[in-house]
Chains A and B, each alone.
Chain A
């Protein structure tokens, strides 16, 4: 199967998945207690019967369910994710406004956790059974069991409140008026704690996977063949063990994408990072269901895009597919 055909196949599957999520969204809206018009009216701050009736007509909520369904789905297909009364903005605009911040955060956290996870995993495997291995795997176990939002809070306490090294919240220093290149160190300073706390859990996941995968591959016959050739241990590890051991890590990284986006909700909430995770939290407390479901759909789309990318990476590494 060629790469192009594979990508096309994945894209077709992605479209179907997204459509199913749209359908799920529609039913979720209708599963919510009270009809959407009442919720909207509540959001808009007016609750008299006449206004609600007017809203029902305006949004076709007095129409039969299948008409509403069609209106909703065709709306989403035209990238109309509805209107947020709370924020007085179309949901799509809101999300697009916030998306770059989330991409910056999640991709940084992902890159960091993958690099550190693989590096520590390799280090642990190389010291299998020795104290270095025990130290690294214990650390992984600890991060694996720590609630993400709590690590974030504790990082704020330690690095911002007590030590004052990094800012406790936000995306940039408000009112500092940094422009151009000056912006970069400021941004990085703000990015560091959120990315670190979001990445720690995933680093633990990749670390454990890398370690066990390396140990498993080390037992394989072709590694013995490589030794029989007289290759140096370093070369064997680099050329024969590492590449084969990383395949399952890539698969896992793809599967973890969804969790990364979920984790972003918590991290962004704690650090007041202006991304779609924070938006989700805001819409939650404001009972802004249109926005909530819009963010849900977009985050699913992000995960799918990420899965397609890992799929392509996997195909590039493994000649067998």
Chain B
């Protein structure tokens, strides 16, 4: 194998005052021609920094401290800026995580692609346009003549990522660096983009350095893999080898943390339903005012289901499927247009605002964003006590309970007197769980409660949830976009698409023997499925 790029002993220094001296150090690896090399790690592992250092795109005050990166006979890290610039976009292309912000909002897609040729003085303007059209076709964007004149806001996330790929591809680079290019995308879109990258890599014989946090993605596309933690490489090798036989403890822990597809044996639902949702409907109408047309989006389109006491029901779907709106409509954070939400015989939708305030205690939520779900100006004790006190629990009792709950979610009781910013994301999510439990609810709705967390933290929080659910016999509605997470925790799952429930049933049935075509597509799109099935 011949290395296109060979990195030796790379170290990147952080500005003084950062939590460590080096973003990465002791980094040495080769990127071989025609291979896809995945760099895996959790947030803060320094995986993106490595890529940015190669491109010369490090943020201010972050600098390459030492190291060599041999590319086409030269050390890239030692090149002057002007030489480095000539390599960018020409010999090395790069795509980024956020397709929504990575394109200039005021410039047409065609111009943004043609700009790559202009930057390197290739072709005449009409030729550039022709080439841009060809690239748009190659990356599979529909209606190229229209896309070339479109502005980014007129494209979906997946389409924008395709446009980004077209730009990176324009000058047929030797290396493509992809920095978490599918993280912000839905699972089916992710599958398409992964496919596209793979196809293009084969067709052009490029070397791809693919940065990701997701071992599923690794299993899907990687030839070789590098695992990073705290700025150092802990393991590298052939993808198959690392996945099936990890050498380093950290790699093993990461792999173990991935929710597996091994589906729990379903227990028959025997208990009476705690919640029954009947024919729930919600259409969002944005009134445009005097001269704008009104737009309406049907978020919930006649959804009915029930949750038994002590049962975990998963609601899965992609963004825009209406899964979150269902959760919010049940607790009336969103007012449904019609339908019944019956909680122990009482229709929540029929309650007056005053009645609702007391009835709300019975359904609580755990939210997605650990940084937005706690009031930054209130101590944890306040967060845990305010609700019960409002509901009439005496203050000293509520406080005693709060301390008890902190213990239950495995936090230090001293946490009560601290402010949210003193906690990590995972800890905050535990506090969110404690807050929901403090209200002693009949049902807890967890809305993407682990999606914002790194995979190892995610595993811990899931473990806690499962444990609490069994110990306290909780009824749980678990909303997630992640099929694996759903498989791990839920008794039954409901699959949503375009506001409709396309399928509902015991986990094993839905996942192993899906009836709806959409469910099948969704499952097929989950990266790394084959590898896991093989491993199980």
Give chain A's interface residues, CB within 8 Å of chain B: 1, 5-6, 8-9, 12, 220-222, 224-232, 235, 239-240, 243-244, 317-320
Query: For residue A5, which residues in chain B have a CB less than 8 angstroms away from its CB?
Result: 291
Q: Are A1 and B291 in contact (CB under 8 A)?
A: yes
| CB of B114, distance to nearest CB on chain A (Å) | 11
Q: Are A244 and B106 in contact (CB under 8 A)?
A: yes
Determine the residue in chain B with the shortest Cβ distance to A240.
B104
Interface-located stretch among B92-100, B364-372, B524-532: B92-100
| CB of B443, distance to nearest CB on chain A (Å) | 40
Query: For residue A12, which residues in chain B have a CB less than 8 angstroms away from its CB?
Result: 290
CA of A228 to CA of B57 in the docked complex: distance in angstroms?
A: 8
Q: Are A221 and B151 in contact (CB under 8 A)?
A: no
Q: Are A320 and B105 in contact (CB under 8 A)?
A: yes
B89 contacts A by Cβ under 8 Å: yes
Query: For residue B168, which residues in chain A have a CB less than 8 angstroms away from its CB?
Result: 228
Determine the residue in chain A with the shortest Cβ distance to B150.
A319
Q: Write out, one digit per residue, whether chain B residues 273-309 have a CB within 8 A of any chain A CB (1) or not (0).
A: 0000000000000000011100000000000000000
| Residue in A230, A243, A244, A317 whose beta carbon sits within 8 Å of that of B90 in the complex | A230
CA of A250 to CA of B470 in the docked complex: distance in angstroms?
A: 59
| Residue in B86, B88, B101 whose beta carbon sits within 8 Å of that of A227 in the complex | B88
Interface-located stretch among B2-10, B115-123, B315-323: B115-123
| CB of A250, distance to nearest CB on chain B (Å) | 12
B348 contacts A by Cβ under 8 Å: no
| CB of A10, distance to nearest CB on chain B (Å) | 10
| Residue in A1, A226, A244 whose beta carbon sits within 8 Å of that of B105 in the complex | A244
Given contacts A1-B292, A243-B106, A320-B151, contact A229 B115 (CB under 8 A): yes
Query: For residue A231, which residues in chain B have a CB less than 8 angstroms away from its CB?
Result: 85, 89, 115, 119
Determine the residue in chain B with the shortest Cβ distance to A244.
B106
| CB of A186, distance to nearest CB on chain B (Å) | 43
Query: For residue B105, which residues in chain A have a CB less than 8 angstroms away from its CB?
Result: 222, 244, 319-320
Interchain residue pairs with CB less than 8 A apart (30): A1-B291, A1-B292, A8-B291, A9-B290, A9-B291, A221-B96, A221-B98, A222-B102, A222-B104, A222-B105, A224-B57, A225-B96, A225-B102, A227-B88, A228-B57, A228-B94, A229-B115, A229-B116, A230-B85, A230-B87, A230-B88, A230-B89, A230-B119, A230-B120, A231-B85, A239-B115, A240-B104, A318-B106, A320-B105, A320-B153
| CB of B288, distance to nearest CB on chain A (Å) | 8
Query: For residue A9, which residues in chain B have a CB less than 8 angstroms away from its CB?
Result: 290-291
Given contacts A225-B164, A229-B119, contact A317 B106 (CB under 8 A): yes
Q: Are B101 and A220 in contact (CB under 8 A)?
A: yes
B330 contacts A by Cβ under 8 Å: no
Which 7 pairs across A and B sit closest by C-beta, in order of nearness?
A230-B89, A230-B88, A229-B89, A221-B101, A228-B94, A231-B119, A222-B104
| Residue in B103, B115, B167, B291 whose beta carbon sits within 8 Å of that of A6 in the complex | B291
Most buried by B among A9, A221, A230, A235: A230
Q: Are B290 and A224 in contact (CB under 8 A)?
A: no
Query: For residue B94, which residues in chain A have a CB less than 8 angstroms away from its CB?
Result: 228
Query: For residue B88, which residues in chain A have a CB less than 8 angstroms away from its CB?
Result: 227-230
Query: For residue B86, which residues in chain A have a CB less than 8 angstroms away from its CB?
Result: 230
Query: For residue B164, which residues in chain A have a CB less than 8 angstroms away from its CB?
Result: 225
Across the A-B interface, how many residue pairs have beta carbons closer than 8 Å? 80
| CB of A268, distance to nearest CB on chain B (Å) | 38
Within 8 A of A (CB), among B99-139: 101-107, 115-116, 119-120
Q: Are B291 and A319 in contact (CB under 8 A)?
A: no
Given contacts A228-B168, A229-B115, A229-B167, 14 further A-B contacts (CB under 8 A): A1-B291, A5-B291, A9-B290, A222-B101, A224-B102, A228-B55, A228-B89, A228-B96, A229-B119, A230-B86, A231-B115, A239-B115, A319-B151, A319-B153
Query: For residue B89, which residues in chain A have a CB less than 8 angstroms away from its CB?
Result: 228-231
Query: For residue A240, which residues in chain B have a CB less than 8 angstroms away from its CB?
Result: 104, 107
Within 8 A of A (CB), among B75-95: 85-90, 93-94
| CB of A243, distance to nearest CB on chain B (Å) | 5
Q: Are A244 and B96 in contact (CB under 8 A)?
A: no
Q: Write out, one digit per residue, whether chain B residues 56-78 have a CB within 8 A of any chain A CB (1) or not (0).
A: 01000000000000000000000
Query: For residue A230, which residues in chain B have a CB less than 8 angstroms away from its CB?
Result: 85-90, 116, 119-120
CA of A9 to CA of B288 in the docked complex: distance in angstroms?
A: 12
Determine the residue in chain A with the shortest Cβ distance to B288.
A1
Most buried by A among B85, B103, B104, B291: B104
Given contacts A225-B164, A229-B88, A318-B106, contact A235 B119 (CB under 8 A): yes
| CB of A168, distance to nearest CB on chain B (Å) | 46
Given contacts A229-B88, A230-B116, contact A244 B104 (CB under 8 A): yes
Query: For residue B290, which residues in chain A have a CB less than 8 angstroms away from its CB?
Result: 9, 12
Determine the residue in chain B with the shortest Cβ distance to A10.
B291
Q: Write out, one digit per residue, whether chain B residues 208-227 have a CB within 8 A of any chain A CB (1) or not (0).
A: 00000000000000000000
CA of A12 to CA of B527 in the docked complex: distance in angstroms?
A: 55
| CB of A227, distance to nearest CB on chain B (Å) | 6
Determine the residue in chain A with the shortest Cβ distance to B100.
A221
Determine the residue in chain B with the shortest Cβ distance to A13.
B290
Q: Are B104 and A226 in contact (CB under 8 A)?
A: yes
CA of A150 to CA of B291 in the docked complex: distance in angstroms?
A: 46
| CB of A52, distance to nearest CB on chain B (Å) | 47
Query: For residue B104, which residues in chain A have a CB less than 8 angstroms away from its CB?
Result: 222, 225-226, 239-240, 244
CA of A221 to CA of B151 in the docked complex: distance in angstroms?
A: 16
Query: For residue B151, which residues in chain A have a CB less than 8 angstroms away from its CB?
Result: 319-320
CA of A310 to CA of B94 in the docked complex: distance in angstroms?
A: 38
